[in-house]
Amino acid sequence: MTAQGKARKLTLDVLCKYPFLNASMEWIQEKNVIPLDAFYTHVGIMDKIRAILADAMDNKEESKALAHDSDEIIYLYPWLRIILAFMNMPRVTYKIANLLSKHFSAMLAKEDETTLLLVAQDQGINVDRIPDDKAMAISTVSFQFRLPFLDYLQIAAKFKSPAWKLVNRLLKNGSVYLRKQDLARMIEELIKTKISEANPALKDESLKKSFMDDPLLKPFFEGLMNVAKEKTSAGSGSTDSLPVDDSAFPPCINAILDKNSKGINLAHSERLFLVYFLLTIGKTVEEVLDLFRNQPDYNEKISRYQVEFAAGMHGKKTNYKPHNCVTLESINICKKADPEFGSKWCVEPKYPFKNPLTFYRRSSKSRARHLAQNSGTEPSNEDKVEGPSSSQDDGQST
Ligand code: SF4
């Protein structure tokens, strides 16, 4: 089936699969549906939103509730964003942004190149597919996409991870070359940012009033709030339950990741520290192995055994923790005052800490709040639930 509309090249199947698309929103607008009617004509939406909330609060990175088996999902997506704005709970918004962006990114990485290109262009990425006979290949790695470097800079400026810095990219003749997985990751970052940022629907008081006055939707919303409050208060005081946030890494980790992304051989002590740190904050063995594939001496069998050992899957099944800052300073891994990676949080800590894990926890908690914070015109419902934020999170962002 093909969706009708102005110059649309994406099929309705694709619009259902990726409901965040601008083309999906256009499709809804063409239907002229009264917003609240979506809940009455697509009765499954409420169950799916409940399931997505539960999956997100459990830090899952995919959800069966996002199955694209009908056009219901296209209506669900904007309503999910509007409901998040009504809820005004930044941590919940952040978790849902993480779940959705990871879920769609995993599907995009398996997509054919033509569809991936159309999705990227829909999201405003001015990217080209390189013809097969002109595809750029370095060693065995093939770069199938390129975009003008100024466009790249404009998009990458929104992302904090050092992996997006121009120096870590293949730049040739004014274009940045990307692999398929890079493009999928770029779309993932854009989705996460879009869901996390302020939603104008928050200011649509008349829509909110109609929603809250509706006999079906009021109890539905109250049920969502109860689950969200219960889950956030169960996890308050700790950021262990937050999803992994690559943008919150301490200077010592960013410096090692930067070396790794350039293919520079890491010292044994750097590898150990990186593995212990990443596993402790919740990265999977596969995600850690993926990083090490950049190392010039990468050996799948040896690396897999070592990472699995560090994860407590072999031997005495010990879960190793990363070294303390004092030890890291003594072995020259600490980069607190480094001109490129250093951070005020490490040099002049308002609340001293001993381990990079503490830096990460404070930073990711603070970032989760800032990312999802709306215009600041009203306190978030999390603040109402949990009281004032911990003074330990008052530091500057890195
Ligand atoms: S002070 Fe600690 S967290 Fe900061 S760079 Fe040094 S080792 Fe890393």
Residues 31-57: pLDDT tens digits?
877 778 888 888 889 999 999 999 998
Do the beta carbons of residue 93 and residue 82 sit within 8 Å?
Answer: no
The response to whether residue 346 sits with its C-beta less than 6 Å from ligand 1 reads: yes
Band (80; pLDDT cuts 50, 70, 90)? very high
Q: Are residues 223 and 259 in the same domain?
A: no
The residues, any chain, with a CB within 8 Å of residue 303's CB and separated by 6 or more, are: 289, 292
Angle ∠(265,267,268) on CA atoms, nearest 5: 125
Q: What is the pTM of this model?
A: 0.64
CA 21 to chain centre: 17
Q: How many domains does the chain have?
A: 3
* Residue 317, domain member (yes or no): yes
Note whether 199 and 96 are same-domain residues: yes
Question: Are 98 and 60 found together in one domain?
Answer: yes
Q: Are residues 152 and 217 in the same domain?
A: no
Q: Is 255 in the pocket of ligand 1 (CB under 6 A)?
A: no
Pair 89, 224 in one domain: yes
The reply to whether 2 falls in a domain is: no
Kindly give the distance from the C-alpha atom of residue 278 to the centroid of ligand 1, in angstroms, as a whole number.
15
The Cα 18–Cα 119 span in angstroms is 8
Provide the token pair at 4.
């009708």
101 & 208 share domain: yes
**Residue ranges making up the domain that contains 275:** 246-383
Is residue 30 located within the same domain as residue 74?
Answer: yes
**Is residue 364 domain-shared with residue 259, that is, in the same domain?**
yes
pLDDT in tens, 102-149: 999 999 999 999 999 999 999 999 999 987 776 666 656 678 899 999
Tokens of 110: 């398996």
User: Does residue 221 lie within any of the structural domains?
Assistant: yes
User: Is the CB of residue 395 below 6 angstroms from any atom belonging to ligand 1?
Assistant: no
Ligand 1: which of 257, 281, 328 to mutate, most ligand atoms within 8 Å of CB?
328
In a domain, 395, yes or no: no
Q: Which is more confidently placed, 357 or 70?
A: 357
**Residues 174, 282 share a domain:** no
203 and 54 co-located in one domain: yes
Give the C-alpha distances (Å, rounded to integers) separating 342 from 224, 251, 286, 339, 354.
41, 5, 28, 6, 16
b/e code 207-246 from CB counts within 10 Å (16+ = b): bbeebeeeeebeebbeebbeebbebbeebeeebebbbbbb
Q: Are 21 and 49 members of one domain?
A: yes
252 lines ligand 1 (CB under 6 A): yes
Q: What is the pLDDT of residue 396?
A: 31
The type of residue at 28 is I
Predicted confidence (pLDDT) per residue in 176-204, tens digit: 999 888 899 899 989 988 888 766 656 67
Residue 171 parent element (H or E): strand 170-172
Could you tell me if 266 and 304 lie in one domain?
A: yes
